[in-house]
Chains A and B, each alone.
Chain A
Amino acid sequence: MDAYRQEIIIAAVLVYLAICVATGIWAMRRTKSSSDFFVAGRSLGPIVLALAIFSSTLSGFGFVGGPGLVYSGGVSSFWMITSGIIGYSICFMLVAKRIRLVAEVRNSISLPDIVAARYNSEAVRFLIALTIVLGVMGYLATQILAMSLVMQSILSGIETFADISLITCSILSSAVLIFYCVTGGIIASVYTDLVQGAIMIIAGVLILLTANSLLDGGLTQASQIIMQDDSEAMMPFGTFGIVTCLGWFFVFGLGVAGQPHMITKMMMNRDIADNRAILPLSIAGYVLSALLWIAIGLVMRALVLDGQTEPLTEVDQAAPMFLSVFANPLLAGIVFAALFAAIMSTSDAFLNIGTAAIIHDIPKAITGRPIKNELLGARIVTVALAALATAFALFSYYVNGSLVALLGAFGWATFAAAIFPVVAIGLNWKGATRQAAIVSVTASLVINLSIQLFAIKLPYGINGGLVAFLVSLILFIGISLVTRAEGQLAPDMEKVMDI
């Protein structure tokens, strides 16, 4: 079987891509309105939604960057995983019910729609839509670049495609993404997420079993090898130190409730009561998929330290090297398909919310009414946005290497700092005011952008995103307490917040 390793991997990825295309064609028949395109007509069941939620948050970073972080820095990055469990719970408690209530009462189809209804303000709608567009461009370009690089590394392994260019790979992978997003909108996106989530869970479990079998003493022996070399790498704060880990806990934990690609999905379930099952199902999927992150990182670090394999030249090679050397070819095929799945499930979610912000929210915030034939416009904008992000990714790769990384890093922390206070607190506290929303969103954008642009480094690894998040939260609550909320909340929103 080893002789056909590359062919098996390519076959697995092709089967996966074919499933995505088929889902797009199937979903096209169910997409008849902009509500279907953006929020699946609020008709999704608990299993579909649970898998869609976790798979869209665990991007390619979890499958490539995560193991690389463990290989390079020991257990520090485990804080990102464990904080996610609490983060999901907070997100469901603060956002899942309220966002779905507002969506039904106001027939909202996007996150900016929700905040515009809550604060009775087009300015807040515009700022949130702008935040989404800025964050989405960076995130989407990062994901498309990762997808193209993975495809290039897979295809170049066989003679026929040995010299395939990155541009060709980016066109091929983006074409599949665009096809199913344009034809089937969010319906195609969530049903491919279902497949993607299932593949990610299977891959996580199988990789754990494989990694555990590589050393006689399993993962315990891997931990002992790492500890003998450098005990701090296996201690709870890893090599990056306590302040970095606690910053990650705050930004990645609480920040979950500010991620628009995740919380928008909470508007799509057919019954709010399903949330009771969706939360544990999502977390179970997330934890099982994250096993890959932990297992590959630990075992690769231990094997290199033990001299059983050559050191990696780049930390992000941890997962590809593990798959190409230690995993069964069939498993490697599944994991590469899972990697594509992880990247695509995040990309399609971003494409969807970015399109909604451009075609639905920004025009509405400026002119006060939606554009005509929104569904057609949404399909055109989806193609344009994906093409722009692909061009942006390639430009960054060949001309300005830091551009995508800069905007990618800008993404998560900006969403957390700008959206969490306005949505998670604002939907649960009648005292929150539009003045506070405008100031906190603006402050979070300015602080995050300044930290990225000027590459500001804080002592002891204090996370810049943490600072922006803290400032944004304090401004939001503080300004709300000193400004008057009376008259800002529409009567129906007041009733929604009493439920």
Chain B
Amino acid sequence: MRTPVIVILFCLLLCCGLLVAIALAPEVSGALGIAHPRISPMRAGGDGALRLAEIGLYAFAFHCLVLCCVVSFFALGVSQRRYDTRLYIWLAVILIINLAVWYLTYSSHQHYLRTGSTAFFLAFPIPTAWMLYGMGFCGAVFIAFYSIGFKKYVYNEEDAKTLAELVKEQQQQQPN
């Protein structure tokens, strides 16, 4: 059961390295947005390309590692005795979908910064639609795994019996 934990630790250490790289990158003016020129206390984003110039790739890699951590945490929640090939396939598919949505969010934003044009999907520009609906879909995949695979990977009647026996054992040991 150490494997997901080792993967998580490895990813977290790399995340720390990337945060240090971001912290050491040259400061760009307006990295956290600027005061809106006309309306206070509203804020504006300013030059999107400039804001990402020094740290964009670090941030992209950081989130890829975070998504690896998220999937590893999901794997950690499954008891070792339930691990099978189908589980690895599920986890690989979930990871690929998450990474793909993140790539599409980031790359469509980059495309917009280069071209200045974007279409709209359900009220939002495409990059934001990827973030909002795409990440929502990723969440739905996690929920699907949990709900569909519940009896196989989380809890079933056999586990309920084991629990009942365990509770009985405990009650016998502590009659008061």
Interface residues of chain A, those whose CB is within 8 Å of chain B, are 71-75, 78-79, 82-83, 85-86, 88-90, 92-94, 97, 101, 104-106, 218-220, 222-224, 227, 229-244, 246, 249-250, 253-254, 272-273, 275-277, 279-280, 283, 287, 301, 304-305, 311-315, 424-425, 428-431, 458-462, 466-467, 470, 473-474, 477-478, 481, 492, 495-499
Contact = CB atoms under 8 A, between A and B. Distances in A.
A133 B169 CA distance: 34
A237 B150 CA distance: 35
Given A218-B123, A220-B123, A242-B56, A429 B132 contact: no
Contacts of B73: 90, 93-94, 254, 424
A97 B155 contact: yes
A258 to B, nearest CB: 12
A93 B81 CA distance: 16
B8 A473 contact: yes
A431 B1 contact: yes
A86 B71 CA distance: 10
21 contacts: A78-B131, A82-B139, A88-B139, A93-B146, A94-B76, A94-B77, A229-B44, A230-B36, A236-B105, A237-B109, A241-B45, A242-B52, A254-B69, A272-B159, A276-B147, A280-B143, A287-B136, A314-B41, A429-B5, A497-B79, A499-B159
A283 B15 CA distance: 28
Given A428-B76, A461-B31, A82 B23 contact: no
A93 B127 CA distance: 29
Interface string B149-176: 0100011000110110011011000000
Contact of A304 (B42, B47, B125, B142): B42
Interface residues of B, number: 80
A89 B139 contact: yes
Contact of A240 (B1, B25, B33): B33
A249 B63 contact: yes
Contacts of B25: 459-460
Contacts of A240: 32-33, 43
Nearest to A94: B77
A461 B12 contact: no
Contact of B128 (A94, A234, A239, A275): A234
Nearest to A86: B139
A171 to B, nearest CB: 32
Contacts of B2: 429, 431
Contact of A241 (B32, B69, B140, B163): B32
A92 B128 contact: no
A276 to B, nearest CB: 4
Contacts of A232: 33, 44-48, 51
Per DSSP, chain B at the interface is helix
A246 B162 contact: no
Interface of B: 1-2, 5, 8-9, 12-13, 15-16, 19, 22-23, 25, 27, 31-34, 36, 39-48, 51-52, 55-56, 59, 62-63, 66, 69-70, 73-74, 76-79, 81, 105-106, 109, 112, 116, 120, 123-125, 127-128, 130-132, 135-136, 138-140, 142-143, 146-147, 150, 154-155, 159-160, 162-163, 166-167, 169-170
Contacts of B8: 473, 477
B32 A242 contact: no
Contacts of B52: 242
A75 B127 CA distance: 11
A267 to B, nearest CB: 14
B125 A234 contact: yes
B135 A276 contact: no
A288 to B, nearest CB: 12
Highest count of chain B CB atoms <10 Å: which of A88, A273, A312: A273
Nearest to A236: B131
A104 B123 contact: no
Given A280-B143, A425-B76, 8 more contacts: A82-B136, A86-B142, A90-B74, A92-B146, A97-B77, A229-B44, A239-B45, A428-B1
Contacts of A88: 139
A90 B70 contact: yes
A433 B33 CA distance: 43
Contacts of B42: 71-72, 301, 304, 311, 315
Nearest to B60: A242
A205 B139 CA distance: 20
7 tightest Cβ-Cβ pairs between the two chains A and B: A232-B45, A85-B139, A93-B77, A239-B33, A89-B142, A219-B123, A236-B131
A22 B100 CA distance: 50
A314 B8 CA distance: 41
Nearest to A305: B39
Given A90-B70, A219-B123, A241-B31, A235 B109 contact: yes
A86 B138 contact: yes
Contacts of B43: 72-74, 233, 239-240
B32 A235 contact: no
Contacts of A466: 19
Given A279-B146, A431-B5, A499-B159, A75 B74 contact: no
B44 A230 contact: yes
Contacts of B163: 101, 104-105, 272, 499
B97 to A, nearest CB: 12
A104 B116 CA distance: 58
